[in-house]
A and B are shown apart, each in its own frame.
Chain A
């Protein structure tokens, strides 16, 4: 029986980064993954393929709608199978990169389903039909999450798909209903709208993107609507009948009222994700997930000695970069170091056009906490680079403590917001004041200047609007 310092179950961003860090710190580590490729949901059926399609579809839309204004006359024709193929190639290249990182850090890669089999023991049901038993001083559960279901709705992978299915449709649906106005639904809805589908988003809540600053969410929704996305907020889907070529959805007002039928070629169910711990053998070490399926941890330590958990299976935002932070901190704790994650500084990004990115507190959170704050805002309509590029939708909002001026939250709605938010993650980690941002030179002309102008606005000296 092989012995390890750490056996990691799950090869997603949490698992593979844990493996890399373990290797760096000289721990003997193995990573167990049931997929043929490492990278988990993110790399195989999540962030990466969706970004491939978002990028390609954005260019398609630009060619369709915007090139003409720039003096470029083309008539683009969609080759969906080629678009899908380039996406798949990128994914394969990326998974190979992760394989390389495992080798580089001397992590043993085990193919098969990992299962805890009592304290310090992991069994792997190998793809070859054999069962392997590993002795592990530490077990790290990094099994991630899976799409949540909805009562009355069955994901059949054809007419009714989850995010995985929506990344691999063989044709552009004429009509697509997206259930759930969260990040996944809006990103994939955008992809198919750009490629030609008429998209309707049905959301139970009366707003899109819960967790996003409400003012930003409202502006974001207006932009998406302008692009052609239909919204039915405050509505719940209570049933679905999938036929050969269409789906009839029963939709009721969330507050109660008469049901109506919504018909679409395809339906994307994107109502969130839930921790994935099925068949993991948690009971063999006395672990029981909570009602929503999460594992309780204290700094990644579960109640079972030597069993740790990171990423989507524990509380906190279900994001690849959060899992990556968990992974580093968890392995460092295992190695006796001072691993730590500040969950307030985990940024969120919606990769639509324009993008939305934020870090820290929203205005609603600050109000709920009773914290006195000041806000500075700057519209991209007043930013020279955005104007030149005809990308004037959106704004930057900086929230800072009313007394100390410490930046408490930054919200960006605009092109490349995801690239811009990193500046504020660094600033907030160093407990910067809005004035610090305002007094730091930013390159001109760039969109990043909008952030600086918004920061100036906190203390009332925005200069360029």
Chain B
């Protein structure tokens, strides 16, 4: 007998709810057939049978909360279903047995709506019905067809998984990777996204850091990094160009007068973007401390959902890996993301002289639906000015 386990739920998700059992105890299942659906705050996921067999018992009834690794039920491998499948009493220890819910009936479609759904390849269950008792009328089916025509065509899904060749390895994406993939693609499909560039001379900041880094660390107990300066410079620029801190909601724009800055952190499991809340109210040291704490949590896999949600603007630093230039993708529904890059000594012209300066390219990807080109450029110029002359931050100019 094999245990059916709750799989890893992905970064920051510590528990899931059993949404629906697709099989009843006593029913035969094939390997990889969906047994049970779980829901987390962010995603729903399906748990497939690990082998051919018969679902022996259910330990976690619908509605139960489970943690990764918890036993959902038991599968008797290789067994054959007893026909008819009579559900034995669930062998749930401690859990109150609940009558198995009848599977939701397939929606009743009018004949015309059925034809449209069949010919148009619509999922009848996904068509909102406006007829008597929610029935799907022809008008509903036509509207669903039209809505799909208006939406971008779905990515072609291969009918069957491609055979893995001899020197290939098929690995199921983690929940986190799937979520990242989906959200990145959503951002690209939704926003009118484009990127503008500038470059910044890091000399002043580096000089400041060299002068004060020991005193800073001694006083605040945290190292003086560059990120704190960029967070402050961005807030400074966001205040000057508030559209970058806004988002679209239906036909309205929501301007956010709070500055919750997401800072992209790479971990061995993928990229996560924890949020420094009310960063405008923090000192430079406060920002550095917050980033440090979040980074540690990220690497320990201890981020909570709250740590990841509700950012108003994001900073991504590809420079730590050596990136010289990139076009970051928005963190929807935000309207702007700043890309920091590698600091590289380059010859630049200063007052007619070629000098070597530590330079960094800056990129701002923005949602052109919200932010005009002028605003985007102004934003980057403001960041550049503040980094090149950090006294401006002190003076708030």
Contact = CB atoms under 8 A, between A and B. Distances in A.
B286 to A, nearest CB: 59
A404 B131 CA distance: 13
Interface string B99-116: 000000000001111010
Contact of A435 (B112, B130, B131): B112
Most buried by B among A401, A403, A435: A435
Interface size, B (range): 10 to 19
A429 B131 CA distance: 9
Interface in A423-454: 429-433, 435-436, 439-440
Interface string A159-179: 000000000000000000000
Interface in B76-134: 110-113, 115, 130-132
B115 A404 contact: no
Interface of B is mostly: helix
Contacts of B115: 435, 439
A404 B135 CA distance: 15
A432 B142 contact: no
B138 A433 contact: yes
Interface residues of A, number: 14
Contacts of B142: 403-405
B131 A430 contact: yes
A333 to B, nearest CB: 20
A405 B135 contact: no
Nearest to A433: B138
Contact of A405 (B131, B132, B139): B139
B59 interface: no
A429 B110 CA distance: 13
A430 B139 CA distance: 12
A459 B130 CA distance: 22
Contacts of A406: 137-139
A439 B118 CA distance: 14
B132 A435 contact: no
Given A404-B142, A406-B138, A431-B137, A436 B111 contact: yes
Q: Max chain B CB contacts within 10 Å: which of A430, A431, A440?
A: A431
Interface in B27-46: none
A401 B138 CA distance: 11
A435 B111 contact: yes
Interface in B120-161: 130-132, 135, 137-139, 142
Contacts of A404: 137-139, 142
B118 to A, nearest CB: 12
Contacts of B131: 430-431
Nearest to B141: A433
Nearest to A430: B132
Given A405-B112, A439-B112, A433 B132 contact: no
Given A405-B112, A439-B112, A440-B111, A433 B139 contact: yes
B377 to A, nearest CB: 46
Nearest to B143: A404
B129 to A, nearest CB: 10
Given A405-B138, A431-B137, A433-B138, A439 B111 contact: yes
- Most chain B beta-carbon neighbours within 10 Å: one of A401, A429, A436, A439: A436
Contacts of B138: 404-406, 432-433, 435-436
A431 B112 contact: no
A404 B113 CA distance: 11
A429 B115 CA distance: 21
Nearest to B112: A435
Given A404-B138, A405-B139, A435-B138, A429 B132 contact: yes
A347 B365 CA distance: 63
Contact of B137 (A403, A432, A439): A432
A430 B110 contact: yes
Given A404-B139, A406-B137, A436 B132 contact: no
B396 to A, nearest CB: 58
Contacts of A435: 111-112, 115, 138
A426 to B, nearest CB: 10
Nearest to A400: B138
Contacts of A439: 111-112, 115
A352 to B, nearest CB: 33
Interface string A1-14: 00000000000000
Contacts of A432: 110, 112, 137-138
Contacts of A403: 139, 142
Nearest to B139: A404
A107 B341 CA distance: 88
A6 to B, nearest CB: 29
B168 to A, nearest CB: 49
A435 B112 CA distance: 6
Interface in A127-176: none
Contacts of B132: 429-431
Contacts of B113: 433
A440 B113 CA distance: 13
B130 to A, nearest CB: 8
Contacts of A436: 110-112, 138
B11 to A, nearest CB: 46
A107 to B, nearest CB: 31
Given A404-B138, A431-B137, A433-B113, 9 more contacts: A405-B112, A405-B142, A406-B138, A430-B137, A431-B132, A431-B135, A431-B139, A432-B110, A433-B112
15 contacts: A404-B138, A404-B139, A405-B138, A405-B142, A406-B138, A406-B139, A430-B110, A430-B135, A431-B132, A431-B139, A432-B110, A433-B113, A433-B137, A436-B138, A439-B111
Closest 3 CB pairs of A and B: A404-B139, A433-B138, A435-B112
Interface of A: 401, 403-406, 429-433, 435-436, 439-440
